């Protein structure tokens, strides 16, 4: 079946550092890929998405590129802020409205 693998956290960075959170997937066909973010005490929010190979999703300074050749969708941000501290989930959708999530990566940004 489909699966998503993320780097384990926590990832601890200083403010203004460069962020990469790795995500790879296994799926048949041509899934859509997503990054969700969960701030403390809240539910998940869609951060960005990409629906086909070589698409780049972007939002709030975050970017991720759909790489079919490496089955990856790594999340990047050039300069993180304390307010970016949260748990980030990579996910895929292969049919209908069902999502398959990765295990989540906690990001902690220190001032």
Partner 1 sequence: ETGVTQTPRHLVMGMTNKKSLKCEQHLGHNAMYWYKQSAKKPLELMFVYSLEERVENNSVPSRFSPECPNSSHLFLHLHTLQPEDSALYLCASSQEASGSSSYNEQFFGPGTRLTVL
Residues of this chain that interact with partner 1 (CB under 8 A) are 4, 32, 41-46, 89, 93, 95-99, 101-104
CB atoms within 10 A of CB 97: 5
Cα separation of 73 and 83, whole Å? 23
Nearer to partner 1, 40 or 111 (CB): 40
Nearer to partner 1, 44 or 109 (CB): 44
Give me the least distance between CB of 22 and partner 1, in Å please. Answer: 16
**Is the distance from CB of 3 to CB of 50 less than 8 angstroms?**
no
Nearer to partner 1, 45 or 79 (CB): 45
For the four alpha carbons of 77, 78, 84 and 87, in that order, the dihedral sign comes to positive
Give me the least distance between CB of 101 and partner 1, in Å please. Answer: 4
Kindly give the residue spans of alpha helices, DSSP state H, lying in the chain. none
Give me the least distance between CB of 7 and partner 1, in Å please. Answer: 14
């Amino acid at each position: 079946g489909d699966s998503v693998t993320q780097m384990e956290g926590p990832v601890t960075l200083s403010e203004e550092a460069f962020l990469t959170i790795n995500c790879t997937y296994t799926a048949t066909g041509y899934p859509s890929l997503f990054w969700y973010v969960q701030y403390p005490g809240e539910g998940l929010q869609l951060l960005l998405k990409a629906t086909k190979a070589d698409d780049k999703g972007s939002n709030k300074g975050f970017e991720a590129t759909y790489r079919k050749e490496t089955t990856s969708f790594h999340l990047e941000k050039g300069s993180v802020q304390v307010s970016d501290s949260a748990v980030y989930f990579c996910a895929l959708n292969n049919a209908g409205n069902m999502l398959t999530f990765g295990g989540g990566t906690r990001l902690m940004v220190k001032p």
